Amino acid sequence: MTEKRTRRRFTAEFKAQAVKRLLDGSRGLAEVATELGVSTGQLSTWRIEHLAAGSAEALAARKAEEAETLRLKRENKRLEEENLILRKAAAFFARGIA
């Protein structure tokens, strides 16, 4: 019977350290992957992401900025809806006064 494997999750800090070890040039991809207990494919993916994003910190900052933008868009939509309701209510009550 095969043993069920759970998916491992690695922190951004762990990934950054792994890529740093790889990029220092003293060891190869397979050697660093073996040391850390990850596959060479996974380490290679982290290296590509690191080089594309600049660094793990830049990626985290970009994700935080995207989350803040999304939050602000939602808040803006909610406020626009509240404003519309208030305008309709003001028009309704103004009609009753005149």
**Residue 57 pLDDT class (50, 70, 90 cuts):** confident
**Residue 62 pLDDT class (50, 70, 90 cuts):** confident
Angle between helices 12-23 and 56-97 (to 10 degrees): 140
**Residue 83 pLDDT class (50, 70, 90 cuts):** very high
pLDDT at 38 over 70: yes
Q: Which residue has the higher pLDDT, 20 or 69?
A: 69
Q: Determine contact, residues 79/31, Cβ cutoff 8 Å.
A: no
| DSSP letters for 12-47 | HHHHHHHHHHHHTSSS-HHHHHHHHT--HHHHHHHH
- Write down the domain spans for the chain: 10-54
